[in-house]
């Protein structure tokens, strides 16, 4: 199964954070082994923004972290015009633009999104979800 990691899920995975559940971690490892572990380019922006707002501690330079992810085989998905339009058109979805882009990316890539975000998990849309806490 192809998996797109929400921002906190990629942070939890790369920092070996125990909040990432065993089932979610196993799914990520399986996707990684199949070269099906994905990250949206918007995630880098969101991380820089969270560090700037002091809502996330900077452990490593984001560009260095990005390069490491790419070197080990995480697949980077750029935000295309089609993804941007799809994100804007998501119905009954909350207003967070980063979450919209991440979900639209998962839909475009026919992948599940790994998240602990209740707004994404509870959304009635068609994207497949993996609860990062399980």
112-125 pLDDT, tens per residue? 999 999 999 999 99
CB–CB of 103/89 below 8 Å?
no
User: How large is the C-alpha radius of gyration of the chain?
Assistant: 14
Q: How are beta strands 37-40 and 112-115 bridged, if at all?
A: unpaired
Q: Out of 9-13, 40-44, 58-62, 88-92, which region has the weakest mean confidence (pLDDT)?
A: 58-62
Angle between helices 97-108 and 42-52 (to 10 degrees): 160
Instruction: Calculate the CA dihedral of residues 103, 15, 116, 84 and round it to 10 degrees.
Output: -10
Average pLDDT over residues 20-35: 98
> In this predicted structure, what is the pLDDT of residue 71?
97
Task: Find where tokens 């999104």 sit.
Answer: 113
> In this predicted structure, what is the pLDDT of residue 28?
98
Average pLDDT over residues 43-58: 88
The pTM (predicted TM-score) of the whole model is: 0.94
CB–CB of 5/114 below 8 Å?
yes
Q: b or e along 10-40 (b: 16 or more beta carbons within 10 Å of the residue's beta carbon)?
A: bbbbbeeeeebbeebbebbeebbeeebbbbb
> In this predicted structure, what is the pLDDT of residue 121?
98
55-114 pLDDT, tens per residue? 887 767 899 999 999 999 999 999 999 999 999 999 999 999 999 999 999 999 999 999
């Amino acid at each position: 199964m192809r998996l797109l990691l929400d921002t906190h899920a990629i942070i939890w995975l790369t920092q070996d954070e125990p909040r990432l559940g065993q089932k979610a971690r196993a799914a990520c490892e399986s996707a990684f082994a199949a070269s099906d572990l994905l990250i949206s380019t918007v995630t880098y922006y969101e991380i820089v923004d969270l560090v700037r707002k002091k809502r996330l501690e900077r452990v490593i330079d984001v560009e260095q972290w990005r390069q490491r992810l790419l070197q080990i085989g995480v697949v980077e998905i750029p935000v295309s015009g089609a993804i941007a339009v799809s994100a804007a058109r998501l119905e009954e979805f909350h207003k967070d633009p980063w979450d919209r882009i991440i979900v639209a990316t998962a839909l475009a890539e026919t992948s599940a999104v790994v998240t602990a975000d209740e707004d994404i998990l509870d959304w009635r849309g068609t994207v497949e979800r993996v609860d990062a806490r399980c």
